Structure 1
Amino acid sequence: MPATIEVFTSPTCPHCPSAVKLAKELAKERDDIRVIESSTVTAQGQKRAQKYGIMTVPTVLVSGPSHPQKIGLQGTPPKSSLIKAVEASLGLRVLEEEKREGFFSKLLKKFNIKVKV
Protein backbone atom coordinates (compact mmCIF):
# COMPACT_ATOMS: atom_id res chain seq x y z
CA MET A 1 0.00 0.00 0.00
CA PRO A 2 1.49 3.37 -1.00
CA ALA A 3 1.84 6.53 1.03
CA THR A 4 -0.64 9.26 0.17
CA ILE A 5 0.36 12.90 -0.07
CA GLU A 6 -2.72 15.12 0.04
CA VAL A 7 -2.10 18.78 -0.77
CA PHE A 8 -4.79 21.27 0.27
CA THR A 9 -4.87 24.21 -2.14
CA SER A 10 -6.78 27.28 -3.21
CA PRO A 11 -6.77 28.90 -6.67
CA THR A 12 -5.74 32.26 -5.16
CA CYS A 13 -2.82 30.82 -3.17
CA PRO A 14 0.55 31.87 -4.64
CA HIS A 15 2.46 29.06 -2.86
CA CYS A 16 0.10 26.17 -3.64
CA PRO A 17 1.44 25.35 -7.13
CA SER A 18 4.94 24.77 -5.73
CA ALA A 19 3.58 22.42 -3.04
CA VAL A 20 1.65 20.40 -5.63
CA LYS A 21 4.67 20.35 -7.96
CA LEU A 22 6.93 19.07 -5.17
CA ALA A 23 4.49 16.28 -4.26
CA LYS A 24 4.09 15.21 -7.90
CA GLU A 25 7.86 15.27 -8.51
CA LEU A 26 8.43 13.06 -5.48
CA ALA A 27 5.72 10.67 -6.70
CA LYS A 28 7.50 10.42 -10.07
CA GLU A 29 10.74 9.50 -8.28
CA ARG A 30 9.14 6.78 -6.15
CA ASP A 31 6.55 4.12 -6.90
CA ASP A 32 5.24 4.02 -3.32
CA ILE A 33 3.52 7.43 -3.35
CA ARG A 34 0.22 8.70 -4.69
CA VAL A 35 -0.78 12.39 -4.73
CA ILE A 36 -4.19 13.93 -4.18
CA GLU A 37 -4.92 17.64 -4.58
CA SER A 38 -7.86 18.91 -2.54
CA SER A 39 -9.01 22.38 -3.52
CA THR A 40 -10.68 24.21 -0.66
CA VAL A 41 -13.05 25.93 -3.10
CA THR A 42 -14.83 22.65 -3.82
CA ALA A 43 -17.42 21.19 -1.47
CA GLN A 44 -15.37 18.01 -1.05
CA GLY A 45 -12.15 19.96 -0.43
CA GLN A 46 -13.86 22.18 2.14
CA LYS A 47 -15.30 19.15 3.90
CA ARG A 48 -11.88 17.43 4.08
CA ALA A 49 -10.14 20.61 5.25
CA GLN A 50 -12.75 21.06 7.97
CA LYS A 51 -12.38 17.42 9.02
CA TYR A 52 -8.65 17.93 9.66
CA GLY A 53 -8.88 21.50 10.99
CA ILE A 54 -6.93 22.95 8.09
CA MET A 55 -7.07 26.73 8.10
CA THR A 56 -4.17 27.64 5.78
CA VAL A 57 -3.04 26.58 2.34
CA PRO A 58 -0.95 24.96 1.21
CA THR A 59 -1.11 22.25 3.84
CA VAL A 60 0.27 18.82 3.07
CA LEU A 61 -0.99 15.67 4.82
CA VAL A 62 0.97 12.45 4.48
CA SER A 63 -0.55 9.10 5.42
CA GLY A 64 0.50 5.53 4.97
CA PRO A 65 0.03 1.97 6.15
CA SER A 66 2.58 2.09 8.97
CA HIS A 67 1.72 5.40 10.63
CA PRO A 68 -1.58 5.64 12.52
CA GLN A 69 -1.75 9.43 12.24
CA LYS A 70 -1.61 11.82 9.34
CA ILE A 71 1.59 13.82 9.25
CA GLY A 72 0.89 17.50 8.54
CA LEU A 73 3.21 20.04 6.96
CA GLN A 74 2.17 23.67 6.52
CA GLY A 75 3.33 25.67 3.54
CA THR A 76 5.52 24.20 0.84
CA PRO A 77 7.78 21.87 2.80
CA PRO A 78 11.42 21.28 1.97
CA LYS A 79 11.78 18.11 -0.10
CA SER A 80 13.76 16.48 2.73
CA SER A 81 10.88 17.04 5.18
CA LEU A 82 8.37 15.56 2.76
CA ILE A 83 10.60 12.52 2.21
CA LYS A 84 10.89 12.02 5.99
CA ALA A 85 7.11 12.19 6.34
CA VAL A 86 6.60 9.68 3.52
CA GLU A 87 9.18 7.30 4.97
CA ALA A 88 7.58 7.55 8.42
CA SER A 89 4.15 6.79 6.96
CA LEU A 90 5.63 3.71 5.29
CA GLY A 91 7.38 2.56 8.47
CA LEU A 92 10.87 3.22 7.09
CA ARG A 93 11.81 5.78 9.76
CA VAL A 94 10.71 7.31 13.06
CA LEU A 95 10.09 11.04 13.11
CA GLU A 96 12.27 13.03 15.52
CA GLU A 97 9.12 14.49 17.07
CA GLU A 98 7.95 11.01 18.01
CA LYS A 99 11.22 10.26 19.74
CA ARG A 100 10.69 13.15 22.13
CA GLU A 101 6.93 13.35 22.24
CA GLY A 102 5.60 16.06 24.50
CA PHE A 103 2.29 17.54 25.56
CA PHE A 104 1.55 19.23 22.23
CA SER A 105 2.19 16.03 20.27
CA LYS A 106 -0.02 14.04 22.60
CA LEU A 107 -2.78 16.61 22.20
CA LEU A 108 -2.54 16.44 18.41
CA LYS A 109 -2.63 12.65 18.58
CA LYS A 110 -6.00 12.92 20.25
CA PHE A 111 -7.30 14.56 17.07
CA ASN A 112 -5.48 12.05 14.83
CA ILE A 113 -3.31 14.65 13.10
CA LYS A 114 0.35 15.50 13.36
CA VAL A 115 1.50 18.99 12.48
CA LYS A 116 5.08 19.92 11.70
CA VAL A 117 5.81 23.62 11.38
Structure 2
Amino acid sequence: MSLLTDDVKNKVRPLLAELMHEVELKVYTGSSLVIPGQDQPGHQRETLAMLRDLAELSDKLTVTETPIAGDDEAKAAGITRAPTTVFRRKGETRTNLRFLGLPSGYEFTTLLEVIRMVGTDQAFDDQVGELSDPVLLQTFVTPTCPHCPRSVLTTYALALGNERIVAEGVEATEFPTLSQRYRIAGVPDTIIGGDPSKRVLGAQPLQQFVEAIRSAAAVAA
Protein backbone atom coordinates (compact mmCIF):
# COMPACT_ATOMS: atom_id res chain seq x y z
CA MET A 1 0.00 0.00 0.00
CA SER A 2 1.35 3.39 -0.99
CA LEU A 3 2.07 5.92 1.75
CA LEU A 4 1.32 8.73 -0.70
CA THR A 5 -2.26 9.50 -1.67
CA ASP A 6 -3.20 10.09 -5.30
CA ASP A 7 -3.70 13.77 -4.49
CA VAL A 8 -0.17 14.06 -3.09
CA LYS A 9 1.28 12.19 -6.07
CA ASN A 10 -0.47 14.55 -8.49
CA LYS A 11 1.00 17.55 -6.67
CA VAL A 12 4.48 16.05 -6.50
CA ARG A 13 4.84 15.00 -10.15
CA PRO A 14 5.28 18.55 -11.52
CA LEU A 15 7.94 19.25 -8.89
CA LEU A 16 9.90 16.13 -9.78
CA ALA A 17 9.56 17.01 -13.47
CA GLU A 18 11.90 19.95 -12.80
CA LEU A 19 14.81 17.61 -12.04
CA MET A 20 17.66 17.88 -14.52
CA HIS A 21 20.00 15.34 -12.92
CA GLU A 22 19.51 11.90 -11.44
CA VAL A 23 19.27 11.99 -7.65
CA GLU A 24 20.24 9.09 -5.41
CA LEU A 25 18.43 8.62 -2.11
CA LYS A 26 20.71 6.26 -0.19
CA VAL A 27 19.00 4.90 2.92
CA TYR A 28 21.19 3.44 5.64
CA THR A 29 19.40 0.88 7.78
CA GLY A 30 20.28 -0.94 10.98
CA SER A 31 19.30 -3.93 13.09
CA SER A 32 16.65 -3.86 15.80
CA LEU A 33 19.16 -5.05 18.42
CA VAL A 34 18.68 -3.09 21.64
CA ILE A 35 21.90 -1.39 22.78
CA PRO A 36 21.79 0.36 26.18
CA GLY A 37 22.20 4.12 25.89
CA GLN A 38 21.47 4.21 22.16
CA ASP A 39 18.32 4.84 20.17
CA GLN A 40 16.77 1.90 18.38
CA PRO A 41 16.27 2.32 14.63
CA GLY A 42 13.44 4.65 13.70
CA HIS A 43 10.81 4.20 10.99
CA GLN A 44 12.97 2.36 8.48
CA ARG A 45 10.26 0.51 6.57
CA GLU A 46 8.10 3.60 6.30
CA THR A 47 11.03 5.71 5.10
CA LEU A 48 11.95 3.20 2.41
CA ALA A 49 8.32 2.85 1.35
CA MET A 50 7.83 6.62 1.07
CA LEU A 51 11.00 7.14 -0.93
CA ARG A 52 10.22 4.24 -3.25
CA ASP A 53 6.76 5.70 -3.83
CA LEU A 54 8.45 8.95 -4.86
CA ALA A 55 10.89 7.14 -7.13
CA GLU A 56 7.96 5.62 -9.03
CA LEU A 57 6.94 9.16 -10.00
CA SER A 58 10.23 10.10 -11.69
CA ASP A 59 12.93 8.28 -13.60
CA LYS A 60 15.38 10.81 -12.13
CA LEU A 61 15.10 9.28 -8.63
CA THR A 62 16.89 6.18 -7.39
CA VAL A 63 16.47 4.64 -3.93
CA THR A 64 19.11 2.31 -2.53
CA GLU A 65 19.16 0.54 0.84
CA THR A 66 22.47 -0.14 2.57
CA PRO A 67 23.03 -1.73 6.00
CA ILE A 68 25.18 0.48 8.22
CA ALA A 69 27.06 -2.48 9.69
CA GLY A 70 30.18 -3.24 7.70
CA ASP A 71 29.73 -0.39 5.21
CA ASP A 72 32.96 1.51 4.62
CA GLU A 73 31.23 4.68 3.43
CA ALA A 74 29.00 4.81 6.51
CA LYS A 75 32.01 4.31 8.76
CA ALA A 76 34.02 7.04 7.03
CA ALA A 77 31.05 9.43 7.18
CA GLY A 78 30.24 8.72 10.82
CA ILE A 79 26.77 7.44 9.99
CA THR A 80 25.59 5.35 12.95
CA ARG A 81 21.81 5.85 13.22
CA ALA A 82 19.04 4.32 11.15
CA PRO A 83 17.34 5.27 9.06
CA THR A 84 19.71 7.87 7.65
CA THR A 85 18.97 9.07 4.13
CA VAL A 86 21.83 10.59 2.14
CA PHE A 87 20.91 12.90 -0.75
CA ARG A 88 23.27 13.29 -3.72
CA ARG A 89 23.46 13.25 -7.47
CA LYS A 90 23.86 9.79 -8.90
CA GLY A 91 27.55 9.02 -9.29
CA GLU A 92 28.65 11.40 -6.53
CA THR A 93 30.26 10.20 -3.31
CA ARG A 94 29.31 13.10 -1.05
CA THR A 95 27.57 12.17 2.21
CA ASN A 96 27.10 15.60 3.78
CA LEU A 97 23.35 16.02 3.10
CA ARG A 98 21.38 13.73 5.40
CA PHE A 99 18.06 13.21 7.12
CA LEU A 100 17.67 10.93 10.14
CA GLY A 101 14.22 9.40 10.47
CA LEU A 102 11.01 9.56 8.47
CA PRO A 103 10.53 12.89 6.63
CA SER A 104 6.79 13.11 7.21
CA GLY A 105 4.43 15.97 7.98
CA TYR A 106 6.10 19.32 7.34
CA GLU A 107 9.38 17.50 6.73
CA PHE A 108 7.93 16.05 3.54
CA THR A 109 8.40 19.59 2.21
CA THR A 110 12.05 19.38 3.25
CA LEU A 111 12.39 16.09 1.39
CA LEU A 112 10.98 17.46 -1.85
CA GLU A 113 13.03 20.64 -1.66
CA VAL A 114 16.38 18.95 -1.00
CA ILE A 115 15.71 16.63 -3.94
CA ARG A 116 15.12 19.71 -6.08
CA MET A 117 18.24 21.42 -4.71
CA VAL A 118 20.39 18.43 -5.60
CA GLY A 119 18.71 17.59 -8.89
CA THR A 120 18.71 21.01 -10.57
CA ASP A 121 21.44 23.44 -11.59
CA GLN A 122 20.73 25.84 -8.74
CA ALA A 123 24.03 27.37 -7.61
CA PHE A 124 25.07 27.42 -3.96
CA ASP A 125 27.94 29.70 -3.02
CA ASP A 126 30.27 28.98 -0.13
CA GLN A 127 28.99 31.27 2.62
CA VAL A 128 31.41 30.17 5.34
CA GLY A 129 34.88 30.01 3.80
CA GLU A 130 37.69 27.55 4.38
CA LEU A 131 37.24 25.12 7.26
CA SER A 132 40.19 23.14 8.59
CA ASP A 133 37.89 20.37 9.85
CA PRO A 134 34.37 19.22 8.97
CA VAL A 135 31.57 20.88 10.94
CA LEU A 136 28.43 18.90 11.76
CA LEU A 137 25.08 20.72 11.84
CA GLN A 138 22.29 18.65 13.42
CA THR A 139 18.90 20.32 13.09
CA PHE A 140 16.30 18.69 15.33
CA VAL A 141 12.77 18.81 13.96
CA THR A 142 9.33 17.27 14.36
CA PRO A 143 6.70 16.52 11.70
CA THR A 144 4.27 19.02 13.24
CA CYS A 145 6.67 22.00 13.24
CA PRO A 146 5.90 24.44 10.39
CA HIS A 147 9.13 26.42 10.91
CA CYS A 148 11.51 23.44 10.91
CA PRO A 149 11.92 22.98 7.13
CA ARG A 150 13.36 26.48 6.82
CA SER A 151 16.18 25.68 9.26
CA VAL A 152 17.02 22.30 7.76
CA LEU A 153 17.04 23.70 4.23
CA THR A 154 19.31 26.56 5.32
CA THR A 155 21.86 24.04 6.57
CA TYR A 156 21.49 22.00 3.37
CA ALA A 157 22.22 25.10 1.29
CA LEU A 158 25.34 25.76 3.36
CA ALA A 159 26.45 22.14 2.91
CA LEU A 160 25.92 22.30 -0.84
CA GLY A 161 28.21 25.32 -0.92
CA ASN A 162 30.89 23.76 1.27
CA GLU A 163 31.45 20.00 1.44
CA ARG A 164 33.18 20.32 4.82
CA ILE A 165 29.81 21.21 6.30
CA VAL A 166 27.75 18.13 7.16
CA ALA A 167 24.04 18.95 7.46
CA GLU A 168 21.67 16.54 9.17
CA GLY A 169 17.98 16.92 9.77
CA VAL A 170 17.04 14.82 12.81
CA GLU A 171 13.47 13.77 13.57
CA ALA A 172 13.64 14.39 17.32
CA THR A 173 10.87 12.02 18.40
CA GLU A 174 12.47 9.07 16.59
CA PHE A 175 15.79 9.61 18.36
CA PRO A 176 14.88 10.50 21.96
CA THR A 177 18.26 9.53 23.43
CA LEU A 178 20.07 11.84 21.03
CA SER A 179 17.54 14.59 21.70
CA GLN A 180 18.02 14.23 25.46
CA ARG A 181 21.80 14.30 25.08
CA TYR A 182 21.58 17.71 23.45
CA ARG A 183 18.78 18.90 25.75
CA ILE A 184 16.35 19.57 22.92
CA ALA A 185 13.39 21.41 24.43
CA GLY A 186 11.96 23.06 21.31
CA VAL A 187 12.35 22.81 17.57
CA PRO A 188 13.93 23.71 15.27
CA ASP A 189 17.19 23.53 17.21
CA THR A 190 20.52 23.21 15.41
CA ILE A 191 23.49 21.81 17.32
CA ILE A 192 26.90 22.90 15.99
CA GLY A 193 29.75 20.40 16.04
CA GLY A 194 28.11 18.07 18.52
CA ASP A 195 28.46 20.67 21.29
CA PRO A 196 25.19 21.44 23.14
CA SER A 197 26.59 24.82 24.19
CA LYS A 198 26.76 25.86 20.52
CA ARG A 199 23.35 25.97 18.93
CA VAL A 200 21.03 28.02 16.72
CA LEU A 201 17.55 27.92 18.21
CA GLY A 202 14.61 28.64 15.97
CA ALA A 203 14.30 29.39 12.25
CA GLN A 204 16.99 32.05 12.06
CA PRO A 205 18.44 33.92 9.05
CA LEU A 206 21.26 32.27 7.12
CA GLN A 207 23.83 34.74 8.46
CA GLN A 208 23.22 33.58 12.02
CA PHE A 209 24.09 30.02 10.99
CA VAL A 210 27.20 31.27 9.20
CA GLU A 211 28.38 33.17 12.27
CA ALA A 212 27.71 30.18 14.53
CA ILE A 213 29.74 27.89 12.26
CA ARG A 214 32.63 30.34 12.07
CA SER A 215 32.60 30.78 15.83
CA ALA A 216 32.60 27.02 16.46
CA ALA A 217 35.35 26.46 13.89
CA ALA A 218 37.50 29.19 15.45
CA VAL A 219 37.13 27.65 18.91
CA ALA A 220 37.93 24.19 17.55
CA ALA A 221 41.07 25.53 15.87
Question: If the TM-score is normalised by the length of the shorter chain, which range does it land in?
Answer: 0.5 to 0.7
- The TM-score, its normalising length taken from structure 2, stands at 0.37
Q: Secondary structure at the match of 1:41?
A: helix
The equivalent of 2:192 in structure 1 is 62
The CA distance in 2 between the partners of 1:27 and 1:70, in whole Å, is 21
Q: How many residues are aligned here?
A: 87
1:8-19 to structure 2, matched below 5 A, reads 8-19=140-151
The list of structure 1 runs, each at least 4 consecutive aligned residues, that deviate by more than 2 angstroms after superposition, is none
Kindly report the root-mean-square deviation, in angstroms, between the aligned alpha carbons of the 2 structures.
Answer: 1.8
- Structure showing greater radius of gyration is 2
- The TM-score, its normalising length taken from structure 1, stands at 0.67
CA contact (8 A) 1:6 1:35 kept: yes
Correspondent of 1:2 among 121, 134, 141: 134
CA contact (8 A) 1:58 1:74 kept: yes
What's the CA shift string for 1:75-111, capped at 9, x where partnerless? Answer: 112111100111122228xxxxxxxxxxxxxxxxxxx
The CA distance in 2 between the partners of 1:6 and 1:36, in whole Å, is 5
The equivalent of 1:20 in structure 2 is 152
Structure 1, unpaired ranges of 5+: 93-117
The equivalent of 1:38 in structure 2 is 170
The equivalent of 1:83 in structure 2 is 210
Structure with the higher fraction of residues in strand conformation: 1
Structure 2, unpaired ranges of 5+: 1-132
Higher-RCO chain (CA-CA 8 Å, sequence separation at least 6): 1
